[in-house]
């Protein structure tokens, strides 16, 4: 099924890995990478994105860049607020993975559905939930998008068809399958995007869902955001067959391997999957290879990967690469980029102010929203 | 009033609600072509077609979660577990998704779903097929738990459960599917959730019983009447929300309580009810509350041991005599 032409950013083979059985990286492996090969890969990817840029209108391209920058700056601010003690509990940042949510959501309609995992800030923002409400939710305030009851991992926005952040690994996969079932049951052509990390692929929920989705031809697009680490455990240490897109074969689904650092490659792959879903009510699995630049959560010591590895991926920072290519294609100039950064800064600062000033939920809210029908 | 079996009553409830609301569908293992492992869904495939009566693969976590997602998107799924023993595989979706979605979304979503099927023991099906799980599900705010003991209650409660906007765990009992009883003919016959029923009035002692222990309690009451003891039998019918008021009123009248249940006693529903009685009516009690529960052992296969593991009329009579100091 794959129409991918770029060289996937496949991890080095097992024999190249210098990980010990405990996962602590004892030495740097960057010297093993052929510099020429790497330059060629980068050049190929650059050309690929240039080609995609020509296929998309400027307004959409700039909106996507804006959304990616918004997520990045929002998350940086969230990290800051977390260290100040304004955000409690778990806080999983989306920095590095912005191209996945932005690229895929850019391909859907407003009446389509999105469900994701606990790393959900980016998805909520790109679905149109206001940064004010997302930040207020992180702060545990009444003005939050889940009224302060869900927190970072449980952002919801029913009006935007954003059906949540779900915090049991893989738990959202059967739910999304059911949402897609409802669309088919009603005879609409709505599609459902279901995001999850690669570690969720080891859960039964993933396999049970893919089986039902293909069996009953449900319009669900399963987007595996393969950031290559389930908390601190690398893909290679957790999955016997680590080629996630191949898992679709077991259930007869269409699948693609997608470069998750290229927002337009993600958009194009999602468009192909949406075509299958809308027209023929067929599910797809997209393995979108990405990388999170920050820890799993704010409390991640980061001992399981090297600085060199992170830097290697930061060279491919999806925002840096996209804005650079947009400049080269003359879609964006310095003034345009500054305008986006300024707008985002204002919005994020306003979000923090809103969250700060929003009241805590009233005491009686402890016992509301448990049941819809009271006996 | 027609006399029908529990199985027929449940079937009627689903049929009528599916006729009434196109968003109601039934999904589960063998519910369609096979007509239901216990024939509760007999004829539904023929009437409603395969779009609305759906045989699922054996994939409990998957189809339970699919049901919750469909409910989030506005449908009213009835998810049948062939037995509630298999729901154990689906508890993540029932407890982490269905029970909490409304709360953690700040009230944005309702989850109108019914999980139903037989709960508790059958006949010599051994340890993994004989578990009564009501205390598990009743533990969690966000879920409603229903346990009918008569065909009329089964029909009226299931119809209410399907119309309810919250997730309902509807626990049937395989031993009772063939039990017959009168069921009102009215099309819109409903039994509201959260209301206990006084199955028999009495003055000397109260037996709180549910599901399969209700007929046992009524037999015990007959037996005790012959011995000069007047027993009131209360069936909560809904475990969560629990109609504790009706139980407390009875305790204030009789001052003596026995709670009969099929499940294990430890951390069970009888323990909860007896704690609430103590909190609310301690001064009215003339004797400690007694529980008659299933044995604190996995269910054995052998017929004689299985009989020993379950509550029976004799043990309930004995417990009532004990609380009455007879």
Neighbours of A55 (CB within 10 A): 11
Contacts of B245 (CB under 8 A, 6+ apart): none
From the list A174, A215, A216, the residue facing B93 with the nearest CB is: A174
Distance of CA A86 to the CA centre of its chain: 24
Contact between A182 and B69 using a beta-carbon 8 Å cutoff: yes
Residues of B in contact with A145 (CB under 8 A): 106
H or E stretch at B25 = strand B24-28
In a domain, A366, yes or no: no
What is residue A38's predicted lDDT score, i.e. its pLDDT?
Answer: 87
From the list B66, B194, B241, the residue facing A178 with the nearest CB is: B66
Residues of B in contact with A179 (CB under 8 A): 69-70, 72-73
Between A and B, how many CB-CB pairs are < 8 A?
151
In a domain, A25, yes or no: no
Residues of A in contact with B111 (CB under 8 A): 372
From the list B51, B68, B103, the residue facing A175 with the nearest CB is: B68
In this structure, the strands spanning B144-146 and B238-240 are antiparallel
Distance from CA of B299 to the nearest CA of A (A): 28
Q: CA dist B220 to A192, B225, B258, Å?
A: 56, 8, 11
Which residue bears the tokens 């027929």?
Answer: B8
Q: Which of residues 259-318 of B touch A (CB under 8 A)?
A: none
CA quadruple A337, A340, A343, A348: dihedral positive or negative? negative
The pTM (predicted TM-score) of the whole model is 0.94
Burial of B139 (0-12, 13-18, 19+ CB in 10 A): middle
Q: Mean pLDDT of all residues in chain B?
A: 98
The number of distinct structural domains making up chain A is 1
Contact between B69 and A174 using a beta-carbon 8 Å cutoff: yes
From the list B57, B101, B193, the residue facing A212 with the nearest CB is: B57
In a domain, A4, yes or no: no
Confidence of residue A301 (pLDDT cuts 50, 70, 90): confident
User: Does any CB of chain A come closer than 8 Å to the CB of residue B108?
Assistant: yes
Instruction: Compute the distance between CA of residue B171 and CA of residue B149 in angstroms, rounded to an integer.
Output: 10
From the list A212, A370, A371, the residue facing B66 with the nearest CB is: A212
Mean pLDDT of A118-133: 98
Residues of B in contact with A370 (CB under 8 A): 102-103, 141-142
In a domain, A14, yes or no: no
Burial of B243 (0-12, 13-18, 19+ CB in 10 A): buried
**Residue of chain A whose alpha carbon sits nearest to that of B167:** A371
Which residue bears the tokens 């947009």?
Answer: A326
* Cβ contact B11:B43 at 8 Å: yes
- Which residues of chain A form beta strands (DSSP E)? 113-116, 162-165, 192-197, 220-226, 229-230, 233-234, 254-259, 284-289
- The CATH number of the domain where A126 resides is what? 3.40.50.970
From the list A145, A156, A171, the residue facing B96 with the nearest CB is: A171
Contact between A171 and B65 using a beta-carbon 8 Å cutoff: yes
User: Does any CB of chain A come closer than 8 Å to the CB of residue B120?
Assistant: no
Residues of A in contact with B196 (CB under 8 A): none
To the query of whether residue B264 is one of the catalytic residues in this protein, the response is: no
In a domain, A159, yes or no: yes
What is residue B33's predicted lDDT score, i.e. its pLDDT?
Answer: 96
Mean pLDDT of A360-369: 98
**Residue of chain B whose alpha carbon sits nearest to that of A156:** B105
- Minimal CA–CA distance to A145: which of B72, B105, B99, B98? B105
In a domain, A341, yes or no: yes
- Per-residue pLDDT for A141 more than 80? yes
In this structure, the strands spanning B257-264 and B290-294 are parallel
User: Does any CB of chain B come closer than 8 Å to the CB of residue A84?
Assistant: no
What is residue A32's predicted lDDT score, i.e. its pLDDT?
Answer: 62
Of residues A4 and A300, the one with the higher pLDDT is A300
- Per-residue pLDDT for A10 more than 70? no
- Per-residue pLDDT for B212 more than 60? yes
- Which residues of A152-274 form beta strands (DSSP E)? 162-165, 192-197, 220-226, 229-230, 233-234, 254-259
User: Does any CB of chain A come closer than 8 Å to the CB of residue B34?
Assistant: no
Mean pLDDT of A345-360: 98
CA angle B200, B202, B204 (to 5 degrees): 145
Distance from CA of A87 to the nearest CA of B (A): 17
Strand order in the sheet with A254-259: A162-165, A113-116, A192-197, A220-226, A284-289, A254-259
Instruction: Compute the distance between CA of residue A79 and CA of residue A91 in angstroms, rounded to an integer.
Output: 8
Q: Which of B8, B80, B129, B174 is catalytic?
A: B129
Contacts of A180 (CB under 8 A, 6+ apart): A113, A191, A192, A213, A218, A219, A220, A283, B69
Contact between B106 and A171 using a beta-carbon 8 Å cutoff: no
User: Does any CB of chain A come closer than 8 Å to the CB of residue B51?
Assistant: yes
* Cβ contact A198:A289 at 8 Å: no
- Per-residue pLDDT for A375 more than 90? no
Range of the domain at A203: 34-357
Q: What is the pLDDT of residues B249-300, one digit of tens each?
A: 999 999 999 999 999 999 999 999 999 999 999 999 999 999 999 999 999 9
State the DSSP code for B174: G
In a domain, A264, yes or no: yes
Q: Is the omega angle on the peptide bond into residue B241 within 30 degrees of 0, that is, cis?
A: yes
Least confident of A29-33, A114-118, B134-138, B189-193: A29-33
Instruction: Compute the distance between CA of residue B144 and CA of residue B152 in angstroms, rounded to an integer.
Output: 19
DSSP for B114-155, please give it: EEEEE-S--SS--GGG----HHHHHTSTT-EEE---SHHHHH
User: Does any CB of chain A come closer than 8 Å to the CB of residue B72?
Assistant: yes
Q: Which of B17, B29, B60, B306 is catalytic?
A: B60
What is residue A14's predicted lDDT score, i.e. its pLDDT?
Answer: 38
Q: Mean pLDDT of all residues in chain A?
A: 92
Confidence of residue A45 (pLDDT cuts 50, 70, 90): very high
State the DSSP code for A22: T
User: Does any CB of chain B come closer than 8 Å to the CB of residue A202?
Assistant: no
Q: Mutate which of A182, A192, A252 to test chain B, going by most B C-beta atoms within 10 A? A: A182
Contact between B106 and A150 using a beta-carbon 8 Å cutoff: yes
Q: Mutate which of B24, B66, B111 to test chain A, going by most A C-beta atoms within 10 A? A: B66
Which residue bears the tokens 């009953």?
Answer: A216
In a domain, A207, yes or no: yes
Distance of CA A11 to the CA centre of its chain: 19
Contact between B61 and A174 using a beta-carbon 8 Å cutoff: yes
Mean pLDDT of A68-79: 98
Q: What is the pLDDT of residues B4-48, one digit of tens each?
A: 999 999 999 999 999 999 999 999 999 999 999 999 999 999 999
Instruction: Compute the distance between CA of residue A305 and CA of residue A311 in angstroms, rounded to an integer.
Output: 11
- Per-residue pLDDT for B119 more than 50? yes
Mean pLDDT of A272-290: 97
Contact between B70 and A173 using a beta-carbon 8 Å cutoff: no
User: Does any CB of chain A come closer than 8 Å to the CB of residue B241?
Assistant: yes
**Residue of chain A whose alpha carbon sits nearest to that of B56:** A212
Instruction: Compute the distance between CA of residue A236 and CA of residue A1 in angstroms, rounded to an integer.
Output: 24
To the query of whether residue B129 is one of the catalytic residues in this protein, the response is: yes
User: Does any CB of chain A come closer than 8 Å to the CB of residue B194?
Assistant: yes
Residue B325 Ramachandran class (φ > 0 left, ψ -120 to 50 alpha, else beta): left
């Amino acid at each position: 099924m794959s129409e991918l032409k770029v060289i996937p950013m496949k991890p080095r083979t097992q024999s190249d890995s210098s990980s010990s059985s405990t996962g602590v990286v004892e030495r740097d492996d960057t010297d093993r990478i052929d510099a020429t090969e790497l330059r060629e890969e980068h050049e190929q990817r650059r050309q690929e994105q240039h080609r995609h840029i020509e296929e998309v209108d400027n307004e959409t391209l700039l909106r996507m860049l804006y959304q990616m920058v918004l997520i990045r700056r929002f998350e940086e601010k969230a990290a800051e607020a977390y260290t100040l003690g304004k955000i409690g509990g778990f806080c999983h940042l989306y920095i590095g993975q912005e191209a996945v949510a932005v690229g895929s959501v850019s391909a859907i309609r407003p009446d389509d559905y999105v469900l994701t995992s606990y790393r959900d800030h980016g998805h909520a923002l790109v679905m149109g939930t206001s940064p004010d409400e997302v930040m207020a939710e992180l702060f545990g305030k009444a003005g939050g998008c889940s009224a302060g009851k869900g927190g970072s991992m449980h952002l919801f926005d029913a009006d935007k068809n954003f059906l949540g952040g779900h915090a049991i690994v893989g738990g959202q996969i059967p739910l999304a399958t059911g949402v897609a079932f409802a669309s088919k049951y009603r005879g609409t052509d709505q599609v459902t995007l279901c995001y999850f990390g690669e570690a969720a692929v080891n859960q039964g929920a993933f396999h049970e869902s893919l089986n039902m989705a293909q069996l009953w031809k449900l319009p669900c697009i399963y987007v595996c955001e393969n950031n290559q680490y389930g908390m601190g455990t690398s893909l290679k240490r957790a999955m016997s067959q680590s080629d996630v897109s191949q898992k679709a074969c077991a259930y007869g689904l269409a699948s693609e391997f997608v470069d998750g650092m290229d927002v337009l490659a993600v958009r194009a792959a999602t468009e192909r999957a949406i075509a299958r879903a809308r027209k023929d009510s067929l599910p797809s699995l997209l393995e979108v290879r990405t990388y999170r630049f920050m820890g799993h959560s704010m409390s991640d010591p980061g001992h399981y990967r090297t600085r060199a590895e992170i830097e290697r991926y930061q060279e491919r920072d999806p925002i840096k690469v996209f804005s650079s290519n947009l400049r080269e294609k003359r879609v964006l100039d310095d003034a345009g980029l500054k305008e986006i950064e300024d707008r985002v800064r204002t919005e994020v600062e306003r979000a923090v102010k809103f969250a700060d000033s929003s009241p805590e939920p009233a005491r009686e809210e402890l016992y509301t929203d448990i049941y819809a029908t009271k006996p | 009033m027609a006399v029908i079996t529990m199985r027929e009553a449940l079937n009627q409830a689903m049929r009528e609600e599916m006729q009434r609301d196109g968003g109601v569908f039934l999904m589960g293992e063998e519910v369609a072509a096979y007509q239901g492992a216990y024939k509760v869904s007999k004829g539904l495939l023929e009437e409603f077609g395969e779009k609305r009566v759906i045989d699922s693969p054996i994939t409990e976590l998957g189809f339970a979660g699919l049901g919750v997602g469909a409910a989030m998107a506005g449908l009213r799924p009835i998810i049948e577990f062939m037995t509630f023993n298999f729901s154990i595989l689906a508890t993540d979706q029932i407890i982490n998704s269905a029970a909490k979605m409304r709360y953690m979304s700040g009230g944005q979503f309702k989850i109108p779903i019914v999980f139903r099927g037989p709960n508790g023991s059958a006949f010599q099906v051994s340890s993994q097929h004989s578990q009564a799980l009501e205390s598990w599900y009743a533990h969690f705010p966000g879920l409603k738990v229903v346990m009918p003991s008569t065909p009329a209650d089964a029909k009226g409660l299931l119809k209410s459960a399907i119309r309810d906007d919250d997730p309902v765990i509807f626990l049937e009992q395989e031993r009772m599917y063939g039990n017959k009883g009168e069921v009102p003919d009215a099309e819109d016959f409903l039994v509201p959730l959260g209301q206990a029923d006084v199955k028999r009035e009495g003055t000397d002692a109260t037996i709180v019983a549910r599901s399969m222990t209700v007929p046992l309690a009524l037999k015990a009451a007959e037996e005790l009447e012959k011995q000069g003891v007047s027993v009131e039998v209360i069936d909560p019918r809904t475990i969560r929300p629990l109609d504790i008021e009706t139980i407390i009123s009875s305790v204030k009248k009789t001052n003596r309580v026995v709670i009969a249940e099929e499940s294990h006693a430890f951390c069970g529903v009888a323990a909860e009810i007896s704690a609430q009685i103590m909190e609310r009516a301690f001064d009215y009690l003339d004797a400690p509350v007694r529980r008659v529960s299933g044995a604190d052992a996995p269910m054995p296969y052998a017929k004689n041991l299985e009989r020993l593991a379950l509550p029976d009329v004799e043990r309930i009579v004995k417990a009532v005599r004990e609380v009455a100091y007879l």
